[in-house]
Amino acid sequence: MSRNTLSFNVCRARDSQFHPGLRDFFEYRKLGIEEATKGAVGAQIIRATQRCEDGTGKHSHGVDFQMVYVLKGKCLMWYEGQGEVELEAGDCVHQPPGIAHELRRCSEDCEALEITMPGVFATDPV
């Protein structure tokens, strides 16, 4: 990524809205990083709209980098080769490219910051 292709960005919470997305029990707030990096990097807040107890099913993403930092609440994840991992506010996980994973449960107040490379990526069932 060249400095020439990057632009300055400020995303203010007071001016932002959450929108529906991949999962119907989550809503998503893009942070403007995808536009500022011409799609090279994505960053969003993912917020639960209700408690999830049914899981997402095992899947993987077509990413070069994926990091999730839990801001509020708790979630139970499953990772290929790692098993179940419970995450709570302040915990951070790096999900290596292509790792199979599943959100098994999350609290109704669960909120996380997700950073990915690239900003737009595929989700494939495993």
Question: Residue ranges per domain, the chain?
Answer: 19-125
Q: How far apart are CA 15 and CA 97, in angstroms?
A: 32
pLDDT band at 45 (very low <50, low <70, confident <90, very high): very high
Give the domain 19-125 fold: Jelly Rolls (2.60.120)
Per-residue confidence (pLDDT) for residue 105, from 0 to 100: 96
pLDDT greater than 80 at residue 82? yes
Radius of gyration of the chain (CA): 15
Structure tokens at 60: 């993987």
pLDDT greater than 70 at residue 114? yes
What value does the mean pLDDT of the chain take? 94
Please tell me the pTM assigned to this model: 0.91
- Cα–Cα distances (Å) from 5 to 9, 10, 31, 58, 110, in that order, read 13, 17, 18, 35, 34
pLDDT band at 21 (very low <50, low <70, confident <90, very high): confident
